[in-house]
Amino acid sequence: MYHIPILLLTFLLPITITAETVLGIYILSRHGDRSSKSTPPTNLTTLGYSQVFTSGSYFRSRYISSSASSPILGISHDVVNYKQIAASAPLDTVLMPSAQGFLQGLYPPVGTQLGVQLLRNKTEVQTPLDGYQLIPIQTVTTGTASEDSAWLQGAGNCANAITSSNEYLSTPEYQDLLNSTGDFYKSLAPVVNATFSEDFLSYKNAYAIYDLINVATIHNASIPSSSLLTPSTISQLSSLANTHELSLAYNNSDPIRAIAGSTLAAQVVQALNTTLSAPSHAPKINIQFGAYGSFQSFFGLANLTSLPAVLSTDNLTDGTDFTAIPDYASTLTFELITNASVTDFPSPSDISVRFLFHNGTTSNSSTPVAYPLFGQPLLELPWNDFVKGMNAFAVGDQSDWRRGAGAVGGGAEGRAEESGGG
């Protein structure tokens, strides 16, 4: 039986916030449940829509509503203030709809009383759909159609990251797994032969195979030769896919492989710094929707992969393993907080950052957990220490991005939301 170290429990307990003020947040959310990448076009499912809507509703109850447990300073509770929120997603049939679903939960329809406008001639105009709120979502190009690609770096514009990921395929570790799992993958031919040829069935395609079977176990009424899919087999498929994808997303000796995490780090620092430097008109909520590759590469860079995995045995944890692929609708959140008086906006020396993660759909019964970044023990890092830690691997300047990444196709910029991986 797996035992959670006592020290680890100190940051696995649900967060109880007292005598502090949240000044702003940055959220990265994975999309909800979707159809398989091997049967394009890949689409967000009704289940996936429900997952991201539920997560958005939770974050509303935490940060936005008039009864929020950790209300953001000065946030508009019911009617969205466009100056206070910035959202972005690639334009595809999974990530963009996920962003829309999440935002529906974050700022739901306001009803007939608030959703009305009085014109000069005294005519009252009701907002359609019971006061439905239209929240702009910035469209980003890189990462578009990433959910139709099974290759982790396939939707990115970073030639050097692609080269680095490809180098994993020539390592002894990869070759050992390729050889030792050959019979295992071939044994699954009766399950997947309607989609994959026998030559495709190897560790080289670990994620695509896992993805097809995982989607089938969620949605298909019947699966060919389903008796082969024992709990042990499903667990092995998941474990091998986790190893394969983390190895493509992050390598300690070759940081460029984790360019998605580097650009995410820069985006987070830039956004939170803008909230600090222009609190009256900068966004208080920044939300980005992306694929699991951004999560995995950031986890490696921030030294979260060194934390022990936690089995989900009760409501205490969500089964977080920072070496694994995050579940659908997973979220990582950076909270900008202070314990100082907020009569005036506090100085940076009075501000800290807390990092939280939740694996899978977030709800009032399964909430985010705080974890320490950068291999140090503090859950709340002073702002300057947080910036220093992030800047150790952040890539946020376009010239730096081009020098490090070797951009392909032109027009690429060092922006966190512009990264692929499904």
* Per-residue pLDDT at 412: 30
* Per-residue pLDDT at 334: 98
Report the 10 Å Cβ neighbour count for 167.
Answer: 14
175/383 Cα distance (integer angstroms): 43
The mean pLDDT value for 317-330 works out to 86
* Per-residue pLDDT at 346: 86
Angle at CA of residue 366, ends 365 and 370, nearest 5°: 135
Q: Percent of the chain scored above 70 by pLDDT?
A: 83
pLDDT digits (tens, 9 = 90+) for 169-187: 999 999 999 999 999 999 9
Residue 316 pLDDT > 90? no
Q: Structure pTM? A: 0.86
Residue 10 pLDDT > 80? no
Residue 210: HSE in the Cβ half-sphere, 13 Å Cα cutoff: 21
| Phi, then psi, of 116 in degrees rounded to 5 | -140, 145
The mean pLDDT value for 308-326 works out to 70
pLDDT digits (tens, 9 = 90+) for 350-359: 999 999 999 9
pLDDT digits (tens, 9 = 90+) for 98-136: 999 999 999 999 998 888 899 999 999 999 999 999 999
* Per-residue pLDDT at 2: 37
> What is the average pLDDT value for the chain, to the nearest integer?
86
